[in-house]
Amino acid sequence: MRLRHDPVYPSRRSPVLAENVVATSQPLATQAGLTIMQQGGNAVDAAIATAAALTIVEPTGNGLGSDAFCILWDGVKLHGLNASGRAPAAWSPERFPDGMVQYGWDSVTVPGAVSAWVELSEKFGKLGLATVLAPAIRYAEDGFIVSPVIARLWAKGAEILGNQPGFAETFMPNGRAPKAGERFRNPGAARTLRLIAETKGRAFYEGELAEEIAAFAKANGGAMTTEDLAAHTLDWCGTVSQSFDDMELHEIPPNGQGIAALMALGMLHHTDIRDDGPDDLAAIHLQIEAVKLAYADLHAFVADRDHMTEVDETALLDPDYLKSRAALISADKAQDFGPGAPKRGGTVLMSTADADGMMVSFIQSNYAGFGSGVVVPGTGISMQNRGFGFTTEKGHQNQVAGGKRPFHTIIPGFAMKNGAPLMAFGMMGGPIQAMGHLQLLLRTQLWEQDVQVAADAPRWRTIEGLDVACEASMGETLLNGLRKLGHRIVVEAPDNAFGFGGAQLIARLPEGGYMAGSDPRKDGQAAGF
């Protein structure tokens, strides 16, 4: 029977309420996380199991060659982890005379996700990698049934990347992408996951797998070496935050885009947004304008934190600076803003939570769908294309260089109040992520919508200049109101799951337990026990 999935009818999801919860973009990954918690694992164990499973069951958004970031509440303290990788040592602006490359080996930076799994397991986990990776190994070896949204994205990815080294061999069995309802196996990934478990990740960065990655790079003109892989390190970087009334939004510091959400939130503090409802024209307009101001600075200044020598996060989050930027917003018209003049001061998303109070927001990604398209033969390792996040612009803090982290889109989010956790959340989907964090936070915390309603709600995304992409579900009255203010509205198709993101949210309930929601734009599921 051919499985046909045309999401033309409105559907309703209820929030999930339980003591232990997992919310992801693919139900099999959600079940992997719950299984691990039922075996005695905690929220970190569940997050790793879920992350590993997603590399298999949702290869259209992440893989074994991904980067990763994490914000977690351990029951006492908030932690931030940056496990993004760096450029090969041989990279320089001269290597890219026509600008950064989007696909192929010259877009590949060192993958960091595996190092995040290992570090989180050793520092906070209870069960060990062999146990938590078991569900992913089973999906890879025995196969899984491909879900509808992922099948559609898989077909699109195959059209673009089918000729990249190793891609068709792994992801196009029988010469094409698998369809929804078909079974897909990835025995190479099963082998890789076992080696990761057996060696606690060392095989990936220093041993057998590292040698295979470097050899395949060399054979196809890539610059990555075993030395590049062995040099990889991650950072417990903490978080940067912005308050809004009595709560705080926490993000990972640069090289990610999370700071843009903080900047926009800080600007909105100085507006009348509290007087409006979540779907009022004035509220949407103010958010769009604040986001445009924040993103102008984001693209002008944010880079690898070690290279932000002229403008850093302290300058970008300075209260007086944000107030001055907010003053540029007009309630009556849309504007095309450029970057400001701050002075230097003094990026698949899953959420898990357990009955002991641990909460995790974890994100990993290959960047553009399958990433670079490069897949190392016999390993199932699809390599990210994070190198495309660099610029070749001379003097820019994000200019490409060997050993440097690129600007990153993927970001986990976390909300706190009076030193206690409120919500672990985030949104996959490239450039919408920071503005998506803002929309989700305001809906849940300012306008008190439950997490599933916030995930279901219509979204918008700034593009460039006065252009704003909107979902048709915003309604013609609101869309026409935005047009009258000068916004150039582009209504995008409802199946543009990437463009409007995929949110996963877990909120802590006042009397214990959690409420979880999963985005209907994805195949995902929130579940608990």
Q: Please state the domain extents for the chain.
A: 21-528
Q: What integer pLDDT is reported at residue 496 of this predicted model? A: 57
CA atoms of 214 and 205, how far apart (whole Å): 10
Strand order, beta sheet including 359-365: 235-236, 78-83, 67-73, 359-365, 349-353, 21-24, 525-528
pLDDT reported for residue 1: 38
Instruction: Please give the Cα distance from 134 to 126 (Å, whole number).
Output: 15
pLDDT of residue 513: 96
Q: How far apart are CA 34 and CA 57, in angstroms?
A: 16
- Active site amino acids: 347
| Beta carbons of 519 and 19 less than 8 angstroms apart | no
CA distances from 361 to 69, 324, 353, 426, 430 (A): 9, 32, 9, 7, 17
Give pLDDT, residue 460: 96
Each residue's pLDDT, cut to its tens digit, for the chain (529 residues) gives 344 445 444 667 899 999 999 999 999 999 999 999 999 999 999 999 999 999 999 999 999 999 999 999 999 999 999 999 999 999 999 999 999 999 999 999 999 999 999 999 999 999 999 999 999 999 999 999 999 989 999 999 999 999 999 999 999 999 999 999 999 999 999 999 999 999 999 999 999 999 999 999 999 999 999 999 999 999 999 999 999 999 999 999 999 999 999 999 999 999 999 999 999 999 999 999 999 999 999 999 999 999 998 899 999 999 999 999 999 999 999 999 988 777 543 347 889 999 999 999 999 999 988 999 999 999 999 999 999 999 999 999 999 999 999 999 889 999 999 999 999 999 987 779 999 999 999 999 999 999 999 999 999 999 999 999 999 999 999 999 999 999 999 999 766 556 898 999 999 999 999 999 999 998 899 999 9
* 464 CB neighbour count, 10 Å cutoff: 10
Beta partners for residue 402, in sequence order: none
407 contacts: CB under 8 Å, gap ≥ 6: 254, 255, 256, 257, 302, 303, 389, 390, 391, 398
The whole-angstrom separation of Cα 336 and Cα 95 is 34
pLDDT at 344: 42
**457 Cβ contact partners less than 8 Å away, ≥ 6 residues apart:** 278, 279, 439, 443, 449
As a CATH number, domain 21-528 is: 3.60.20.40
Residues 6+ apart with CB under 8 A from 522: 25, 26, 149, 497, 502
Specify the pTM. Answer: 0.94
Per-residue pLDDT, 5: 47
At 134, the amino acid letter reads: A
Q: How far apart are CA 353 and CA 366, in angstroms?
A: 25
